[in-house]
Amino acid sequence: MKKAILTCLTAAGLALGAGPALSAGKLSVYHWFEYIPQELLDKFAAEHDVEVTMDTYDSNEALLAALKGGKLGSYDVAVPGDYMVEILAKEGMLDTIAAGELANKGNILPQWADVSFDPGRMHSIPYQWGSTSFTVSRDAYQGDIRTTDMLFNPPAELSGKINVLDSQGELLALASIHLGIEQCSNDKEKLKQLNALVQGAKEHWASFISDGAKDVLVSGEAAVGMIWNGFSAKARGENAALEYSYPKEGYLVWMDNVVLLKDAPNRENALKFMDFLLEPENAAAVTNFAQYTAGVGGVDDLLDAELKASPELNPPADAPAGQFVQVCEEATQVLYDAIWTNLKK
């Protein structure tokens, strides 16, 4: 038995020793799924002799829940959307980037250099921005798709063939747009309307899937799917019958941002990574992969021609302006949380 214990300890020592120590440094990234090309991570790892590990999440709320659940301190950077940057900052989960710490900060496009969700870009840099609405399979439905009715009050033949994102902020904001209610309303009558809308629409929804949002559309499991524009463009690449909609009632826009997390174990490398992502060449690589739009200047000439002309990135002329998801007061947010819990149960 002693021998067995010794073997065990030796194996433990070997296994623990073999893991790290191959590269000089480490970088631990917490990122959305399918949002950065592996080649780009490999390139960063090679340029800076850093071992990069990445975990993924599939909604802003899941990111928040994980960080709240004890993962803060394990990751160096994450990529929350606009409103989540504001929430994470309020929760004190972000580190501050001091002036001069990012050499490429000047590459940020002027309109994204100072934003309401992170005044002065104290904690974040732009990653990509895009829109959230939905995509319809033209094989399944030929009528007018430029209305949020497709999700919340669908034609009978599409009922039960709809997927929505498992994302509280985006789904409830889109439902508010459908009803014409301002976001963060604390009028209980309006909120009851909102609740009734999503409860009623739930009958028509087959699934709440985010990470498989593309797959369910491509495979035909869903005929209508709430989705982000770039992800929809990728879906169209695999199934030409898919069409992204810019509804007349409105839709959501968002910007994802790379943030420096508090208690980052490898703060230096995190800053190097942020600088790396601000290089036009690298930002363009992300854009060509994820098919959204970069927030960094000098990218345009490096983009695939097809991407620049894609219908997902170019809303029709009569489309209204998109709305950002807003951060509500705690007393109001509790009410929205109740609607969401009620919807998911």
Nearest distance from C-beta of residue 344 to other proteins, angstroms? 7
Nearest distance from C-beta of residue 175 to other proteins, angstroms? 15
Nearest distance from C-beta of residue 282 to other proteins, angstroms? 17
* Residue number, 219 or 314, with CB nearest to other proteins: 219
Element (H, E) at 272: helix 267-278
Q: How many CB atoms are closer than 10 A to CB 256? A: 26
Integer Cα distance of 17 and 12 in angstroms? 8
* Residue number, 101 or 215, with CB nearest to other proteins: 215
* Residue number, 116 or 341, with CB nearest to other proteins: 341
* Residue number, 220 or 316, with CB nearest to other proteins: 220
β-bridge pairing 293-294 and 124-137: antiparallel
Integer Cα distance of 264 and 25 in angstroms? 13
284 Cβ contact list (under 8 Å, min separation 6): 294, 299, 302, 303
Nearest distance from C-beta of residue 117 to other proteins, angstroms? 16
* Residue number, 15 or 156, with CB nearest to other proteins: 15
Provide the binding-site residues for other proteins, judged by CB under 8 A.
1, 4-5, 7-8, 11-12, 15-16, 18-19, 28, 30, 33-34, 38-39, 53-56, 58-59, 61-62, 64-66, 68-71, 73-75, 87, 91, 166-168, 188, 191-192, 195, 205-209, 211-212, 214-215, 218-221, 238, 330, 333-335, 338-342, 344-345
Q: Return the structure tokens found at 33.
A: 């799924």
Nearest distance from C-beta of residue 146 to other proteins, angstroms? 26
* Residue number, 107 or 232, with CB nearest to other proteins: 232
Position 30: which residue type?
Y
Q: How many CB atoms are closer than 10 A to CB 45? A: 17
Give SS3 for 299: coil
Nearest distance from C-beta of residue 241 to other proteins, angstroms? 13
Q: How many CB atoms are closer than 10 A to CB 23? A: 14
Q: Return the structure tokens found at 82.
A: 């606009």
Nearest distance from C-beta of residue 201 to other proteins, angstroms? 13
Angle between helices 38-48 and 280-290 (to 10 degrees): 160
* Residue number, 52 or 97, with CB nearest to other proteins: 52
Contact 115, 255 (CB under 8 A): yes
Nearest distance from C-beta of residue 59 to other proteins, angstroms? 6
Q: How many CB atoms are closer than 10 A to CB 11? A: 10
* Residue number, 8 or 103, with CB nearest to other proteins: 8
* Residue number, 54 or 181, with CB nearest to other proteins: 54
Integer Cα distance of 128 and 254 in angstroms? 9
Integer Cα distance of 146 and 251 in angstroms? 10
Give SS3 for 13: helix
235 Cβ contact list (under 8 Å, min separation 6): 135, 214, 217, 218, 227, 242
Nearest distance from C-beta of residue 299 to other proteins, angstroms? 23
Contact 102, 125 (CB under 8 A): yes
How far does CA 290 lie from the centroid of its chain?
11
